[in-house]
Amino acid sequence: MILMYHVPIAIFHSYIVHCTLYISYIYTNILPMHSTSFQHYLLGLFAVANNIAAIPLYINLIEGRSLKERNSICSTATLTSFITMVVSLLAGLAVLNFFEISIPAFRIAGGLLLLNTGFGMMSTIRKAIEEEELSFSKSISTAIIPIAIPLTTGAGTMSTIILFAQTSGKQPWFNFPLIAAIIIMTFIIFFTFRYAPGIIKHLGATGLDVLTKIFGLITLAIGVQFIITGVSDAFPKFF
């Protein structure tokens, strides 16, 4: 039983380590000028786009499901998160331009949003999840909203990707470090959902709360930095 319990965790950790090392090798040896940006993007996305907060609801959703249904729910939630991040990368700046929203204003708004998200993660109070039997079609719908959006990739993730894209000064399709970070983050989201039962047994409720608070602190720091940069850009004479 102990061996069976630890195998999924070991596979999950091994896969994440290998993916990170592989991408890091590419950007360190093939595109060395982008290695720092890639690490910055990946750490930023890992803080705001992780699906730790969605795990309790996800566990409740897959309870009693067949392996095929579990895989479908996992794939749906992951694909939705990936599409959300890609759309934010490709169309985010165009939306801002359409509504004539300046980047400093969006930075400040995004920073405030991340502060709210971070405070919410820091003061997590687990609510009782209703034990309601959902049909498979409703489970798929729940995997999209609220598990994928907003619990995994919400408004904070969208604003972070848009600001990362703007800061790079590159066309979205040619922002290879950010694209690679999104792809790696998608794999992390997938395997976190895939091995969620083993992860929650390994960490326990207390460990999950501590991990959520750590990510909340990082999210708060990113939000503060966005606000500082936005204010300094909006009022350059004062800085």
User: Is pLDDT larger for residue 75 or for residue 206?
Assistant: 75
Are 152 and 48 contacting, i.e. CB atoms less than 8 angstroms apart?
no
Are 78 and 188 contacting, i.e. CB atoms less than 8 angstroms apart?
no
Which residue from 195, 204, 164, 203 is spatially nearest to 180, judged by alpha carbons?
164
pLDDT for the residue 166: 86
Q: Which residue has the tokens 């730790």?
A: 52
pLDDT for the residue 68: 93
pLDDT higher than threshold 50 for residue 193: yes
CA distance 124 to 122: 6
pLDDT for the residue 132: 54
User: Is pLDDT larger for residue 124 or for residue 167?
Assistant: 167
CA distance 136 to 72: 10
Domain count, the chain: 1
Q: 30 pLDDT band (50/70/90 cuts)?
A: very low
Structure tokens at 178: 């950010």
pLDDT higher than threshold 70 for residue 237: yes
Region 188-198: mean pLDDT is: 93
Sign of the CA dihedral with 95 first, then 96, 101, and 106 last:
positive
pLDDT one-digit tens code per residue, 127-155? 444 445 567 888 899 899 889 998 899 88
pLDDT one-digit tens code per residue, 164-189? 988 877 788 888 999 999 999 999 99
Give me the domain span that covers residue 140.
2-238
pLDDT for the residue 232: 92
CA distances from 138 to 132, 133, 134, 157, 178 (A): 11, 10, 6, 25, 33
Please state, rounded to an integer, the average pLDDT across all residues of the chain. 81
CA distance 40 to 171: 18
pLDDT for the residue 231: 92
CA distance 167 to 74: 32
pLDDT higher than threshold 90 for residue 162: yes
pLDDT for the residue 18: 54
pLDDT higher than threshold 70 for residue 91: yes
Region 108-126: mean pLDDT is: 81
pLDDT one-digit tens code per residue, 1-26? 444 444 445 554 554 555 555 445 54
